Amino acid sequence: MKAYVTKSGAKQYKPSLASLNRIISGDNSTGYCLACGKSAGGVEPDARKYECECCGAAKVYGAEELVLMGLYH
């Protein structure tokens, strides 16, 4: 995960495109929390704003959704 700063000044994390492609070509049920950078299992490819089990933020997105939004490095 790579840290970056959003337009609003919050620190967030984004995964690499390679790791997203691995998920999409695999079981495609893993997402990432943008707030803390942890991966989450059992997440649909198009999931948006799921609650993170680790930090509690509603910032878990599915792998395909992250690619669509350009949130990777």
CB of 55 to Zn ion, least distance (A): 3
> What is the token pair recorded at 4?
């970056």
**Hunting for tokens 């997203």 — which residue is that?**
20
Q: Which is nearer to Zn ion, 33 or 66 (CB)?
A: 33
Q: Which is nearer to Zn ion, 17 or 36 (CB)?
A: 36
**Hunting for tokens 């993170």 — which residue is that?**
52
Decide: 35 and 57 in contact? Cβ < 8 Å.
Answer: yes
> What is the token pair recorded at 61?
């997105």
Residue 28-57 contact track with Zn ion, rule CB under 5 A, x = bound: -----x-xx---------------x-xx--
Residues binding Zn ion (CB under 5 A): 33, 35-36, 52, 54-55
